[in-house]
Amino acid sequence: MASRNDVARLAALMRGARTLVLTGAGVSTDAGIPDHRGVGSPTRRTVEYGDFVLHEMWQRWVWWRSELSWQILERTRPTTAHRALAALEGAGDVIGVTTQNVDRLHSTAGSRNVAELHGRYDAVVCLHCDRRFPRSDVSTLIRDHNPGREFPPLPPDHVEVLAARDRGAAAACSLVVPACPSCGGLLKPDVVFFGEPIPEAAVRHALALANECDVVLAVGTSLAVSTGMWVLMQARESGARLAIVNRGPTEADRLADLRLEGGAGEVLGGVAEILLGEGG
């Protein structure tokens, strides 16, 4: 748990600086969304992009797990951390957020300059015509194609943004997956699977923010996924100082100018209280 002195040190580092915040799953755990890579999290493989594109079995399984999970995400509300970052952006202390999360809680909280590196759970893309659809519209299609099928709600800690690679369950899954309403192509949740390229527009947005910042603050991420490290290293190459807030070690601890062990909500809430209080 971070001390008051630790929080004050982070606030001092950010005071008067242009701070870019890089967030991972640890920012959303207080909202009930599980962190599959953090301290104590089980090792799990997920369905990869090539599996999904090539095999109907995995398509059925991914859409089944997505349909059960997205309804939980739709009802999830921002945490103290999300609200603090939105308030700090509004006050000019944060220039933007680059996130590895797909839950959209930053935007829901009011953050405006958000680069979503791994996509967004509330949209669907056709892999043939590239048209995008609201997730709610595709949910209606799924239920229309599966009359009488029940979709039991999942407990929040069973939410799967990326479906676990469970071959036995996938083989038994009989979900009828609807095709793209526009072209008949393959629909995919608009989140980045392992083995799938990161959206170029999101990368450009994130790297532009990295080039502008004086401080890059990584929160709630072990930085085990390379996309976060790209942004962090670009910021450092542009002269930014690095601060890290996380429960457990990260891949960039040795590079940090300031390293805090603690939760996102307690630390960011405390930083916002200090900086916004000074501004008031």
**Domain range annotation of the chain:** 4-279
pTM: 0.93
Block means of pLDDT (10 residues each) for the chain, length 280 residues? 93 98 94 61 78 98 95 91 98 97 96 97 97 97 97 82 94 98 98 94 97 98 91 97 96 97 96 86
Length of the chain: 280
* Interacting residues of 111 by C-beta distance below 8 A, sequence separation 6+: 82, 85, 86, 89, 96, 97
Report pLDDT for 237: 96
Report pLDDT for 2: 85
Max intra-chain CA distance, the chain: 59
| Both structure tokens of 128 | 């043939």
Active-site annotation holder among 36, 55, 82, 118: 118
Report pLDDT for 279: 59
CATH of region 4-279, choose from 3.20.20.10, 3.40.50.1260, 3.40.50.720, 3.40.50.1220 = 3.40.50.1220
- Would you give the distance in Å from CA 69 to the centre of its chain? 15
What is the rounded CA–CA span in Å between residue 140 and residue 150?
13
Respond yes or no: is residue 36 known to be catalytic: no
58 three-state secondary structure: helix
Report pLDDT for 43: 55
Tell me 117's DSSP state.
Answer: T
